[in-house]
Amino acid sequence: MSDLLIHGGTVVLPDGERVADVAVEGGKIHAISAPGQTFSPGAFSRAVDAAGLVVLPGAIDAHVHFRVPGGEHKEDWDTGSMAALAGGVTTVLDMPNTDPPTTTLAALEDKRARIAPRARVNWGLYMGATKDNLAEVKQARNIAGLKIYMGSSTGGLLVYEDGPLASIFGGYSGRICVHAEDEQIIRDNSLKFSGATDVTVHGRIRTVTSAKRATERAIALARRFARPVHICHMSTAEELELVRAARHDGITCEVTPHHLVLNEDGLADLGTLGKMNPPLRGKHDNEALWGGLADGVIDFVATDHAPHTLKEKMGGYWEAPSGVPGVQHMLPLLLNGVHYGRLTLTQVAQVTATGPAERFGIQNKGRIAPGHDADLVLAAMGDARLVRVKDVVSKCGWTPYEGMDLYGWPEVTVLGGQVVYERGRFPKVTRGREVMFG
């Protein structure tokens, strides 16, 4: 008997959307056929009626901070990966700013050993750049890329001087991912505004110019050394234009859900919960970034899921750490964008699954096609539902999207052919696998 039949859903396929049956065997997509034509539900050990639902490739979130090791009071791989599954995310790539940071081969292997027995989603890891760890990074096998913090953020990773940056870009031929904010501008403005107490100063310290300048610098280094460089969490219309002009040089970029749907007008309500790096910007930036997704200049959406406890976030402006959770709400926020005509379902599949799979060369993922891994999400588009704190799965226990009324929610999540999330419950615990980067 074959594993699983998902029948009668609107399936988002590489060549468009149509009502179809999806048969799964041995954890892989076996066949896709016209509804009711080829497969009978009785021939499968499990059949899911997807009538009225859309069937998308499981989302790949290429930027999460699951906080292991060292930040387990904020998140761990049980809570982080359950939050992911509830949000239709079946693969995550974890950032290196843990404690200790993932800057050595020993730290990388230690992290793998901790994650493998706990992850309920598929996963991959970045290494972080320091001024002197290039030799070790070059020996690492199967990493998502090398993360460079050109401006300081949560954790101690930072490389911003010309010499060390040139050595890294010159010496590393793999994918380089940058946190692009200008350290000098941040430092100067922090002094200038040191008396400020309100979170609205965040965007005046970490200015649009600081993001723009660091992005320009990263693009210049990419060109000089002919490297594939990826700009993380791009927040402004200005950076979008820089990337648009540099795409033929292999520059790629991502946007977060919070930079799409939140802006500085909401900071009065959010307070320090709305503090993250780079900061929330203006409404015109939201509009420009949605446009960049629709026209393909932005390669994918990644959440920058950066949980901190409420207690930590409730400190004053200077004490509150930067970062917001997001892995559970990326798909609802984007599907809500479909409801309001900002994107098509095919574009959502592109920016949440196909795009990241292609950019990172993740094998057998990111599309609903025979032979691909059966990582899928079934979502309901019909009724609006409120984002409620009591539904938050992340250990941090809060969300900046509380109270938003969204159309488009994951109902069922399938990982490797197993139904692992179903309408608020986690019926089966399966282990995710480390992905293979091509």
For residue 219, the partner it binds in ligand NCD, Zn ion, none, with Cβ less than 5 to 8 A by kind, is: none
Among 7, 30, 65, 111, binds ligand NCD (CB under 6 A): 65
For residue 276, the partner it binds in Zn ion, ligand NCD, none, with Cβ less than 5 to 8 A by kind, is: ligand NCD
- Examine residue 179 and tell whether it contacts ligand NCD (CB under 6 A): yes
- Examine residue 277 and tell whether it contacts ligand NCD (CB under 6 A): yes
Among 90, 91, 103, 153, binds ligand NCD (CB under 6 A): 153
- Examine residue 272 and tell whether it contacts ligand NCD (CB under 6 A): no
Q: Please give the positions annotated as active site.
A: 304
Among positions 374-413, residues that touch ligand NCD (CB under 6 A) are none
For residue 322, the partner it binds in Zn ion, ligand NCD, none, with Cβ less than 5 to 8 A by kind, is: ligand NCD
Nearer of residues 179 and 313 to Zn ion, judged by Cβ = 179
Size of the site for ligand NCD (CB under 6 A): 11
Among 67, 111, 179, 202, binds Zn ion (CB under 5 A): 179
Nearer of residues 153 and 189 to ligand NCD, judged by Cβ = 153
Nearer of residues 54 and 218 to ligand NCD, judged by Cβ = 218
Among 91, 97, 189, 347, binds ligand NCD (CB under 6 A): 97
- Examine residue 236 and tell whether it contacts ligand NCD (CB under 6 A): no
Plot region of 323 (φ>0 → left; ψ -120 to 50 → alpha; else → beta): left
For residue 67, the partner it binds in ligand NCD, Zn ion, none, with Cβ less than 5 to 8 A by kind, is: none
Among 304, 373, 375, 411, binds Zn ion (CB under 5 A): 304
- Examine residue 276 and tell whether it contacts ligand NCD (CB under 6 A): yes
- Residue numbers of the site for Zn ion (CB under 5 A)? 153, 179, 237, 304
- Residue numbers of the site for ligand NCD (CB under 6 A)? 65, 97, 153-154, 179, 276-277, 304, 306, 322-323
